[in-house]
Structures are given as structure tokens and as C-alpha cells.
Amino acid sequence: MKTALFELQKALFQRFTNDEVLSSKVGGRIYDAVPENTPYPYLTIGEPTNNPFDTKSSFGENIILSVHCWSSYNGKKEAYEILNLILQSLSGPPLQIGGGFKLQDFRREQMNVIIDIDGKTKHGILELRFYINN
């Protein structure tokens, strides 16, 4: 038994990085850990929640993972555009997850844009659910 968390993160990073339109929109700034003084906009692969998705004959995971976008645009327009580009990127061919894992299904759970505590930064949050078998 093993977890697909890191393999899923790598697959998402590769998908977003290889998507020319999305990568261009965020200036190639797609992170797990954001460097200090990073300019806006950028995208981060966020926090997973992992629940069992086991059957009598297989081990699996039900992973909810957040993807965040950050924008300093005056209004929410840029955050909405980035979220749309993320969804379009994920609408292509199924993700190829390494490490012997197989993606069974994925879906969008929820999406919103908030204004951060600084009163200026727009923060888009997209929660995705992945069902992965080992």
C-alpha cells in the first residue's frame, strides 16, 4: 500500500506547466512553495485531503486537492480567467499519474475567488476530487 499524493502533484504540475496558454497567463509561475517577492499572477498546487477509496480487492484514494491562483488585478477578472484556464487544461486528455497509480475519475468540487486579508490580492480557489487506485 502507498499514497499517490506526490505523483498526483507531479502530474498536475506537468499538465499546468505544459499548457502554453495557462503557463503564459501566470508567467510560468506555478509553485508548490512560493519564492519570496514573487510577482502576480501565479498559481500554487495546494493542500490535499486523502480518504480511503478501498474495495475488497484494491487499495485506492479519494483525494481532494486545492489549486490556488493569486492576482493583483483591480477586480476579480484575472482570477476568473486563470481558474477557467485551469479547468480547460484539466479538460484535455486524462492525467497520467506515475508510480503505478491509475486515475479512476476526477471532478470539480467547488470554486471561488476571495479578496485576501491585505484587501487587494484576489485569491482563486479550485477544489478538485480525484479517485485513484493503486
Cis peptide before 94 (omega within 30 of 0): no
pLDDT value at residue 116: 95
- Domain map of the chain by residue range? 5-133
Q: What is the pTM of this model?
A: 0.93
- How many angstroms separate the CA atoms of 72 and 83, rounded? 15
82-104 in b/e form (b: 16+ CB < 10 A) is bbebbeebbeeeebebeeebebe
Q: How confident is the model at residue 25 (pLDDT cuts 50, 70, 90)?
A: very high
Here the cell at position 5 is 499524493
CATH number of 5-133: 3.30.2000.30
**pLDDT at residue 57 in the model:** 77
26 pLDDT band, cuts 50/70/90, is very high
State the pLDDT at residue 55: 77
Each residue's pLDDT tens digit, 55-93: 777 789 999 999 999 999 999 999 999 999 999 999 989
The tens digit of pLDDT for each residue in 1-21 reads 789 999 999 999 999 999 999
The fraction of the chain above a pLDDT of 90, given in percent, is: 90
